[in-house]
């Protein structure tokens, strides 16, 4: 079985109900150890110390639109989603505790300590997608023990709120909630049940744009900070009075303030905008402020840990930075949000995915570890964060087969007529383990470079570029006698053209003995050795869109796609068309490690994937309706260890994995069933028993529980429990469990040793098991206090689901149970 | 000068656009607000003191001209009495009824930097260059030195009384000293920090200090800080960095919940005493709003009940309303910038085409130019003869000119200072201009508050003390006192407006008590008094044909009073009944002149600083629904439709920053403009500030 595993990175834009819903601010757990981010339909948990992805909270079926720590239990987190549910998670262990069904698409969640059992949600009430109508509702969570509860008790706080979730914030101690929409600030006081509204003029004589963009409330004072479209920050006070309210204005940002955040102590206010500068205003000291500039893309959200030590900023380019006061750790995952201009590439050395990163950079992204490795500065110019500027951007990049050369093209003025571009060649420096600029070619062509590729031979590296000026050029290293230097620079080796037609694509054969360059409808085959044109291949009308040679056993084939919905395959030995098929192909991607070629076809508003071998026109694998957008970029990523999948339809995934990028900047991939099982297994293991809190501790000591449960079937309906893992699984559990939740080492030790023993058969086994029981009985006493705690915890959770009578029963049963155990031990010897 | 054809629905005029009156307003140095009478006293750099009526649309009620070398540093009200002190070392009391200096006494402490009166109205304290704070007892008709407080080493720059009157805080160089008034000894000495970096070597001047009733002392200093001190412990509570330059002025509101600070960058910063947690009492001073209405140093601020008033080197008085203190928004609650005095500085000899410009220290007489031919409306005409400066008349003595006049025939020029009145006769043969001073003036003409010639230039009216008007006949042979016109009411307030009728039968006077008296010149007796209206008269004129007195008031209301019938005319009653258009009432500068068009008796011409208006009394009055500024609309309509759309008010906004408009007998208008941009270029350069993206 094959299925699509959707791999949505942080900050992707999902369109829901016609409105744009941006990613929500990340939250830092109370102990500052974890960072939680809403990402697609997942909530990802990262460690703030190692910056590594730990696990994901999986369960929502649509975009997660908000996360908030449970104010009653700081180890739990609420998440809301467009699918109309709010889920409560234990985010450390990744367990779904409860699901509340609201029934409307939800867009943001707010919680407050003062309002226990009440969630505040942004709900879209719009029936037709055009007029956005968001409401702020308070939802009373029902105290039901079931896993899935329908929350029906709702009350509307405000029926007209901004779609931007940053425009709503809880005030000091949850006494009031402030929300802004356009030019109006509203403060709803819960105690008086009264709303105070304050409006600003749309513009004044000086051309200020006063629309609200974000809001933050001071944690201890009654002060509301609001950000505005023209970059002003206003601090509102005395807003209990309709007339005597007052505000002070600060102005530093030159563009809209995207986010505001007070530190937990309330001593500082943090603000961020497009300038990519984190501004730290001293609260109450007027203009005094500090800056943290050049953070990356424009700042979208800021969150602060509860101890005020960690700031987390999320940026439009999908990166997140954790800053530890002023010394900060650049961190985390980014997958550029503002559009990927380069192809998806794999760095042959690090096996990292390479694509546009920060503006003017290429980023290296480890798919295995889901981690951003580093950015390579290509443009080497300061990027100015301001809307409407035309700045250099990396548009093309290519690696040679060994990964020792990187070619990049940067371009400016795509929109205007005066195009500027540079071709740069970078050599891999073994010593520094990074790419070093070798050659910059300022006027490689007279017009824009359309495409480029390196030859695939291992001996000589050659780069071929094709451009809109109708020429293709081959570039070689060295051989320049004039510059008598040690270093070898790249220079032009050959310029070719064909009837002044515009080239569209170029490709080297697997052994680099042939170069295919397509000129409009004609494919020309050249020999790179002699630069002589060997043959031309014509095909039925249609401009060639994609061109690739077959690999390995199919290297005699050349594949091409045209704009007129045709996929052709030529046999280069006969120079004849082998087969052709009428299919609209938007992207053709060969696998470098096998003969397989993947074709993405966009038809009737969805994309289909075909995988085939050039030798036969029959697809190996077909998957219809992979996604609803066009796919223009795809890459095969070689696996570290090949899989041995014998299933015919998934064999093509054995050596490498196919990743592709949709127009919505979702990176998707195919994964096999076994992988999927592996991914899900851990979470499935944890979600087994509904009635008892599942901890690794429980898993270890589960045997007792099981025995007890058998006796208490009246209160514990027989749980459908899988066989407890033995041996290595237990060790794994032991090693993977955080130390603070483990019982004392003395307790574990004997069990651990026991688990390693090879059990004997017959009478001795019985003896052993009895002994084991005795042992564990002692352990029970030894770790009595810990047990108590645990029991308490589990009882608490039981109360969620059991009626009082049942609960009492359970307690009684537990008591008797223990005494019975004692009796048993007493009677035995 | 330019000549322009001004032709529109309101008629056709040739306009002399005069821009050669280089009037320079003087910078504002000090402000003092009297809560009880709602008067704002303003001291200017040239030593003049002006009194504005805050609840009457900030009308400039009184002007006391200054004198050379008479710089005022501080102003203080004690009850209804106004005192000033200056660098010449003297304390001056003003006679506000007669609008002149009452007396000046020397404090014998060198230049005085500051003056402050206590709330009880018993004492005045002045801070002197020699480091003493001198206390003066305020007696009924003078002040008397009482004693010195402990003498300090450096000059006293600012002073503030504790509301109880028992303590005084004094701002000095680098420190603030708190004195016990009883003992005269210093209670606390608080050191103000100098700035960081290079400014560390410069001493910190405590420019302004405010003592609150709860014992908080607030100071503004040259480092740019507003600091709050506790007078019990003498320690700093909080400091706000307001600016990189100096904080020059501070003012606290009456109920001590708001404080404004004026800086040398031209911004006013407001601090408010608000509770940090709603509904609780622990309040803090928090910086809230910032007002940027000035381009230059703000030398004085005052927070009055509903507005923040600020003035500085750019010579404009800015009234910024505090909307949270205003019950309902109205014309009275708009931002107001007062650039020009509410008096006429230009006199015009209508019959001979001469203009007399009044500067503080001299007079200038100009002859208007002539233009050629006719042009299309709005175009400028070729100037055939350039305007010509005929005369530059310097004032004798140190006093500045209080009022001046030129006779309609252009033969007589008269001006008055606080001490003297001089009458000149102008001889004009071709290009030879000479003047002779009329030497033997009647004794009553020692000084005048307002001067006016009769329309046939045979008589001079001089308004003097006790609201009386002296009548003097002037002729080639000399000058003869004819009589004194005295009002029946017995008001002592000075007259600020005089209007004589064309036929020489009537003269009307208006004084600061809002009284308008009409005198019959034939009987030389008071004829009648116009019913007193609550707002001051800003301009008035007697209609040449009907002998009706047309009055404009500071609140933009207009009245027409028939002198012969001693009652308001029907038109005036209609105006009052129907009310004026909202846009008319909301204008923020007073009308300064009333003229009549002899060719069209139903036309009344008015002007203020921003516009020129012709009121056609024959047309219907606009109500709030009609379009008020309808000139453009009317232009696009046909003759027929125009009739139904037109209303009595025809407003022309072609001209800006108007000082004076006068209608000449040849149906041409003289518009004297003083563009504010020209004033701005003549001001000293402001503090250089880094602007974003420069």
At B357, which CATH number? 2.130.10.10
pLDDT in tens, A294-334: 776 778 888 888 888 788 887 776 555 544 333 333 334 44
Same domain, B244 and B317: no
CB atoms A246 and B274 under 8 Å = yes
Q: How far apart are CA A502 and CA A349, in angstroms?
A: 34
CA B61 to chain centre: 7
Closest by CA to A531, choosing from A580, A492, A589, is: A492
Sequence length of chain A is 829
Residue B309 lies inside a defined structural domain of this protein: yes
Residue B415 lies inside a defined structural domain of this protein: yes
Burial readout B510-541 (b: 16 or more C-beta within 10 A, e: otherwise): bbbbbbbbbbebeeeebbbebeebebbbbbbb
Provide the token pair at B474: 């002037």
Partners of A190 on chain B (C-beta within 8 Å) are none
End-of-domain residue from the set B532, B566, B581? B532
Under 8 Å between Cβ of A633 and A340: yes
Angle, helices A763-782 vs A784-801, to 10°: value is 90
Partners of B274 on chain A (C-beta within 8 Å) are 237-238, 246
pLDDT at A6 over 50: no
Q: Which run of H or of E encompasses B450?
A: strand B450-453
Same domain, B180 and B112: yes
Q: How far apart are CA A282 and CA A299, in angstroms?
A: 19
3 state SS for B566-577: CEECHHHHHHHH
Provide the token pair at A547: 């061109």
Q: What is the pLDDT of residue A700?
A: 58
Residue B116 lies inside a defined structural domain of this protein: yes
Closest by CA to B87, choosing from B116, B114, B111, B115, is: B111
CB atoms A248 and B286 under 8 Å = yes
pLDDT at A828 over 60: no
pLDDT at B202 over 80: yes
CB atoms B276 and A221 under 8 Å = yes
Q: How far apart are CA B58 and CA B28, in angstroms?
A: 16
pLDDT at A484 over 70: no
Using CA atoms, how far residue A678 sits from A174, A637, A672, A695, A721, in Å, is: 43, 19, 10, 20, 19
Under 8 Å between Cβ of B84 and B49: yes
Percent of chain B's residues with pLDDT above 90: 57
pLDDT at B549 over 70: yes
Residue B635 lies inside a defined structural domain of this protein: no
Q: What is the pLDDT of residue A63?
A: 79
Q: What is the pLDDT of residue A765?
A: 44
Same domain, B442 and B477: yes
Provide the token pair at A148: 């899935």
Q: What is the pLDDT of residue B656?
A: 87
pLDDT in tens, A490-521: 888 888 888 888 888 888 888 888 889 988 88
Number of structural domains found in chain B: 3
Same domain, B138 and B156: yes
pLDDT band at A614 (very low <50, low <70, confident <90, very high): confident
Query: Considering CB atoms only, which of A221, A241, A243 is closest to B277?
Result: A221
pLDDT at B343 over 50: yes
Q: What is the dihedral of CA B311, B312, B316, B317, to 10 degrees?
A: 10
Residues 6+ apart with CB under 8 A from B666: B14
Residues 6+ apart with CB under 8 A from A409: A394, A395, A396, A397, A421, A422, A423, A424, A444, A449, A452, A465
Same domain, B297 and B379: no
pLDDT band at B1 (very low <50, low <70, confident <90, very high): very low
Residue B46 lies inside a defined structural domain of this protein: yes
Mutation for A interface: B274, B320, B689, most A CBs within 10 A: B274
> Which DSSP letter does residue B9 get?
T
Partners of B278 on chain A (C-beta within 8 Å) are 175, 222, 238-240
Sequence length of chain B is 694
Under 8 Å between Cβ of A669 and A660: yes
Per DSSP, what are the bridge partners of residue B615? B604, B649
Mutation for A interface: B236, B239, B286, most A CBs within 10 A: B286
Return the SS3 of B146. Answer: strand
Residue B2 lies inside a defined structural domain of this protein: no
End-to-end Cα distance, chain B: 37
Same domain, B356 and B497: yes
Partners of A239 on chain B (C-beta within 8 Å) are 278
Under 8 Å between Cβ of B246 and B261: no
Provide the token pair at A611: 């995988």
Residue B594 lies inside a defined structural domain of this protein: no
Percent of chain A's residues with pLDDT above 70: 71
Residue of B nearest to A247 (CA): B288
Provide the token pair at A107: 């867009």
Nearest CA distance, A237 vs chain B (angstrom): 8
Closest by CA to A466, choosing from A424, A517, A520, is: A517
Q: Looking at residues B327-344, what average pLDDT do you find? A: 80
Return the SS3 of B135. Answer: strand
Q: How far apart are CA A133 and CA B431, in angstroms?
A: 81
B323-327, long-range: CB within 8 Å, 24+ apart, which pairs?
B323/A243, B324/A241, B324/A243, B324/A244, B324/A245, B324/A246
End-of-domain residue from the set B516, B532, B548? B532
End-of-domain residue from the set B212, B229, B263? B263
Q: How far apart are CA B446 and CA A567, in angstroms?
A: 112
Q: How many CB pairs under 8 A join A and B?
A: 53
Closest by CA to B151, choosing from B129, B174, B124, is: B129
CB atoms A246 and B242 under 8 Å = no
Closest by CA to A595, choosing from A614, A577, A581, is: A614
- Say if strands B370-371 and B380-381 run parallel, antiparallel, or are unpaired: unpaired
Q: What is the pLDDT of residue A351?
A: 85
Give the E-state strand segments of A498-630 in sequence order. Answer: 503-508, 515-519, 522-527, 532-538, 544-549, 557-562, 566-571, 576-581, 587-590, 597-603, 606-612, 619-627
Same domain, B137 and B197: yes
Using CA atoms, how far residue B538 sits from B58, B333, B448, B519, in Å, is: 12, 20, 19, 19
Higher pLDDT, B229 or A554: B229
pLDDT band at A194 (very low <50, low <70, confident <90, very high): confident
- Angle formed at CA B196 by CA B190 and CA B197, multiple of 5 degrees: 145
Q: What is the pLDDT of residue A323?
A: 45
Q: What is the ipTM of this complex?
A: 0.78
Residues 6+ apart with CB under 8 A from A824: none
Residue of A nearest to B289 (CA): A248
At A549, give phi and psi (nearest 5°). -90, 150
Same domain, B313 and B362: no
CA A121 to chain centre: 24
Q: How far apart are CA B400 and CA B47, in angstroms?
A: 9
Q: What is the longest distance spanned by two Cα atoms in chain A?
A: 102
Same domain, B314 and B356: no
Same domain, B217 and B291: no
- Say if strands B593-596 and B525-530 run parallel, antiparallel, or are unpaired: unpaired
Under 8 Å between Cβ of B516 and B535: no
pLDDT in tens, A101-147: 888 888 888 888 888 888 888 887 665 555 567 888 888 888 877 88
Same domain, B269 and B160: no
Residues 6+ apart with CB under 8 A from A793: A693
pLDDT band at B443 (very low <50, low <70, confident <90, very high): confident
At A777, give phi and psi (nearest 5°). -65, -45
Residue of A nearest to B238 (CA): A285
Nearest CA distance, B319 vs chain A (angstrom): 17
pLDDT in tens, B139-180: 998 999 999 999 988 899 999 999 999 999 999 999 999 999
Residue B661 lies inside a defined structural domain of this protein: no
At A685, give phi and psi (nearest 5°). -60, -40
> Domain residues for B196?
28-263
At B641, give phi and psi (nearest 5°). -65, -30
Provide the token pair at A553: 């056993």
Q: What is the pLDDT of residue A28?
A: 85
Same domain, B251 and B358: no
Percent of chain A's residues with pLDDT above 90: 3
Using CA atoms, how far residue A368 sits from A317, A349, A372, A491, A638, in Å, is: 21, 14, 10, 37, 11
Provide the token pair at A511: 């052994």
Query: Considering CB atoms only, which of A239, A241, A286 is closest to B240?
Result: A286
Q: How far apart are CA B583 and CA B611, in angstroms?
A: 13
């Amino acid at each position: 079985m094959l299925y699509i595993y959707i791999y949505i990175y942080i900050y992707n834009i999902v369109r829901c109900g016609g409105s744009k819903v941006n990613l929500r601010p990340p939250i830092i757990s109370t102990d500052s150890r974890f960072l939680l981010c809403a990402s697609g339909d997942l909530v990802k948990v990262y460690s703030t110390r190692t910056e590594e992805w730990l696990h994901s909270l999986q369960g929502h079926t649509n975009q997660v639109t908000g996360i908030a720590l449970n104010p009653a239990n700081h180890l739990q987190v609420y998440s809301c989603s467009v699918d109309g549910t709010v889920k409560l998670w234990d985010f450390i262990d990744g367990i779904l505790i409860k699901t509340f069904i609201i029934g409307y698409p939800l867009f943001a969640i707010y919680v407050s300590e003062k309002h226990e059992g009440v969630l505040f949600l942004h709900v879209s009430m719009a029936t037709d997608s055009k007029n956005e109508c968001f409401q702020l509702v308070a939802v009373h969570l029902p105290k039901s023990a079931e896993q899935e509860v329908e929350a029906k008790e709702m009350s509307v706080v405000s029926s007209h709120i901004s779609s931007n979730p940053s425009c709503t914030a809880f005030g000091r101690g949850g006494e009031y909630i402030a929300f802004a929409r356009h030019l109006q600030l509203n403060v709803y006081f819960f105690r008086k049940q009264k709303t105070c509204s304050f409006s600003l003029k749309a513009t004044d004589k000086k051309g200020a744009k006063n629309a609200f963009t974000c809001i933050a409330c001071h944690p201890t004072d009654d002060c509301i900070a609001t950000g505005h479209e023209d970059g002003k920050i206003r601090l509102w006070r005395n807003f209990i009075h309709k007339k005597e309210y007052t505000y002070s204005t600060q102005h530093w940002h030159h563009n809209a303030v995207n986010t505001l955040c007070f530190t937990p102590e309330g001593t500082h206010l943090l603000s961020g905008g497009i300038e990519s500068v984190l501004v730290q205003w001293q609260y109450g000291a007027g203009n005094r402020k500090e800056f943290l500039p050049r953070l990356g893309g424009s700042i979208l959200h800021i969150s602060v840990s509860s101890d005020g030590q960690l700031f987390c900023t999320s940026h439009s380019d999908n990166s997140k930075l954790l800053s530890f006061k002023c010394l900060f750790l650049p961190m985390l995952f980014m997958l550029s949000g503002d559009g990927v201009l380069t192809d998806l590439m794999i760095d042959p050395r690090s096996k990292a995915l390479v694509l546009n990163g920060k503006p003017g950079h290429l980023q290296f992204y480890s798919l295995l570890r889901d981690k951003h490795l580093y950015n390579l500065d290509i443009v080497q110019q300061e990027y100015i964060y301001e809307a409407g500027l035309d700045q250099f951007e990396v548009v093309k990049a290519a690696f040679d087969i060994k990964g020792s050369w990187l070619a990049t093209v940067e371009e400016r003025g795509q929109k205007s007529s005066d195009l500027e571009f540079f071709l740069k060649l970078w050599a891999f420096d073994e010593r520094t383990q990074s790419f070093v600029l070798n050659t910059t070619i300022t006027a490689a062509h007279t017009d824009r470079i359309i495409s480029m590729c390196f030859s695939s031979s291992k001996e000589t590296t050659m780069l071929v570029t094709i451009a809109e000026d109708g020429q293709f050029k081959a570039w070689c290293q060295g051989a320049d006698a004039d510059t008598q230097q040690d270093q070898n620079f790249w220079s032009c080796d050959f310029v070719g053209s064909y009837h002044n037609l515009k080239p569209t694509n170029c490709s080297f054969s697997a052994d680099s003995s042939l170069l295919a360059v397509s000129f409009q409808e004609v494919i020309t085959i050249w020999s790179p050795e002699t630069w002589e044109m060997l043959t031309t291949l014509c095909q039925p009308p249609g401009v060639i869109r994609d061109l690739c040679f077959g690999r390995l056993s199919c290297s005699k084939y050349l594949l091409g796609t045209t704009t007129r919905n045709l996929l052709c395959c030529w046999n280069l030995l006969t120079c004849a068309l082998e087969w052709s098929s009428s299919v609209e192909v938007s992207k053709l991607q060969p696998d470098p490690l096998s003969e397989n070629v993947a074709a993405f076809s966009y038809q009737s508003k969805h994309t289909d994937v075909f995988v085939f071998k050039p030798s036969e026109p029959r697809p190996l694998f077909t998957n219809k309706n992979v996604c609803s957008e066009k796919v223009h970029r795809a890459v095969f990523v070689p696996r570290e260890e090949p899989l041995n999948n014998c299933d015919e339809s998934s064999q093509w995934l054995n050596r490498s994995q196919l990743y592709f990028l949709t127009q919505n900047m979702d990176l998707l991939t195919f994964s096999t069933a076994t992988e999927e099982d592996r991914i899900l297994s851990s979470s499935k293991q944890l979600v087994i028993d509904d009635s008892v809190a599942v901890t690794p501790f429980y898993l270890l000591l589960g045997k007792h529980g099981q025995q007890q449960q058998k006796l208490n079937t009246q209160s514990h309906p027989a749980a459908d429990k899988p066989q407890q893992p033995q041996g290595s699984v237990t060790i794994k559990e032991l090693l993977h469990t955080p130390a603070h939740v483990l019982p004392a080492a003395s307790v574990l030790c004997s069990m651990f040793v026991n688990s390693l023993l090879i059990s004997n058969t017959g009478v001795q086994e019985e003896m052993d098991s009895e002994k084991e029981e005795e042992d564990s009985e002692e352990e029970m006493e030894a770790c009595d206090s810990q047990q108590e705690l645990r029991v308490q915890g589990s009882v608490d959770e039981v109360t969620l689901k059991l009626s009082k009578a049942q609960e009492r029963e359970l307690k009684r049963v537990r008591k008797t149970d223990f005494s019975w155990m004692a009796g048993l031990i007493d009677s035995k010897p | 000068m330019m000549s322009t054809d001004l032709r529109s629905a309101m008629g056709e005029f040739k306009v002399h656009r005069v821009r050669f009156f280089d009037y320079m307003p003087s910078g504002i140095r000090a402000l003092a607000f009297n809560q009880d009478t709602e008067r704002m006293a303003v001291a200017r750099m040239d030593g003049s003191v002006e009194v504005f009526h805050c609840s009457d649309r900030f009308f400039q009620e009184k002007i006391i001209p200054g004198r050379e070398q008479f710089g005022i540093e501080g102003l203080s009200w004690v009850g209804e009495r106004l005192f000033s002190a200056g660098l010449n070392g003297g304390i001056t009391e003003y006679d506000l009824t007669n609008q002149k200096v009452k007396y000046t006494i020397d404090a014998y402490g060198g230049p005085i930097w500051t003056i402050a009166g206590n709330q009880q109205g018993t004492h005045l304290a002045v801070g002197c260059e020699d480091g003493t704070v001198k206390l003066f007892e305020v007696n009924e008709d003078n002040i008397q030195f009482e004693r010195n407080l402990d003498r300090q080493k450096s000059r006293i720059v600012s002073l503030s009384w504790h509301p109880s009157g028992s303590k005084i805080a004094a701002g000095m160089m680098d420190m603030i000293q708190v004195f016990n008034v009883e003992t005269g000894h210093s209670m606390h000495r608080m050191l103000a920090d100098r700035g960081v970096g290079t400014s560390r070597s410069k001493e910190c001047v405590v420019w302004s200090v405010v003592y609150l009733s709860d014992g908080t002392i607030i100071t503004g200093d040259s480092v740019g800080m507003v600091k709050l001190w506790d007078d019990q412990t003498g320690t700093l509570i909080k400091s706000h960095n307001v600016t990189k330059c100096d904080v020059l002025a501070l003012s606290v509101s009456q109920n001590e919940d708001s404080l404004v600070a004026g800086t040398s960058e031209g911004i006013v910063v407001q601090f408010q005493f608000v509770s940090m947690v709603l509904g609780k009492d622990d309040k803090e001073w928090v910086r809230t709003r910032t007002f940027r209405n000035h381009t230059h140093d703000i030398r004085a601020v005052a927070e009055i009940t509903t507005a923040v008033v600020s003035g500085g080197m750019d010579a404009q008085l800015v009234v910024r309303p505090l909307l949270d203190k205003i019950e309902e928004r109205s014309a009275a609650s708009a931002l107001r910038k007062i650039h020009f005095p509410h008096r006429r500085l230009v006199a015009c000899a209508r019959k001979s085409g001469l203009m007399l410009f009044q500067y503080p220290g001299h007079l200038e007489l100009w002859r208007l130019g002539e233009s050629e031919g006719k042009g299309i409306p709005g175009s400028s005409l070729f100037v055939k003869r350039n305007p010509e400066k005929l005369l530059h008349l310097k004032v004798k003595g140190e006093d500045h000119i209080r009022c001046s006049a030129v006779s309609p025939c252009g033969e007589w020029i008269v001006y008055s200072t606080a001490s003297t009145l001089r009458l000149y006769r102008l001889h004009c043969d071709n290009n030879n201009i000479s003047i002779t001073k009329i030497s033997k003036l009647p004794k009553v003409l020692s000084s005048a508050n307002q001067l006016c010639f009769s329309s046939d230039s045979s008589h001079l009216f001089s308004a003097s003390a006790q609201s009386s008007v002296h009548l003097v006949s002037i002729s080639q042979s000399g000058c003869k006192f004819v009589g004194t016109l005295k009002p029946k009411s017995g008001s002592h307030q000075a007259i600020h407006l005089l209007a004589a009728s064309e036929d020489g039968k009537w003269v009307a006077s208006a004084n600061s008590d809002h009284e308008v008296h009409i005198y019959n010149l034939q009987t030389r007796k008071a004829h009648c008094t116009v019913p007193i209206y609550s707002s001051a008269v800003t301009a008035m004129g007697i209609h040449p044909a009907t002998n009706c007195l047309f009055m404009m008031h500071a609140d933009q209301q207009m009245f027409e009073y028939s002198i012969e019938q001693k009652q308001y005319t029907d038109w005036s009653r209609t105006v009052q009944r129907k009310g004026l258009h909202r846009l008319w009432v909301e204008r923020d500068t007073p009308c300064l002149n009333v003229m009549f068009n002899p060719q069209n008796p139903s036309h009344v011409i008015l002007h203020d600083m921003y516009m020129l208006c012709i009121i056609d009394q024959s047309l219907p009055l606009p109500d709030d629904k009609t379009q008020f500024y309808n000139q453009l609309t009317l232009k696009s309509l046909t003759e027929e439709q125009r009739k139904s759309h037109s209303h009595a008010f025809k407003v022309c906004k072609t001209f800006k920053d108007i000082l004076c408009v006068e209608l000449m007998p040849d149906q041409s208008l003289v518009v004297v403009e003083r563009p504010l941009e020209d004033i701005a270029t003549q001001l000293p350069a402001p503090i250089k500030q880094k602007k974003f993206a420069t």
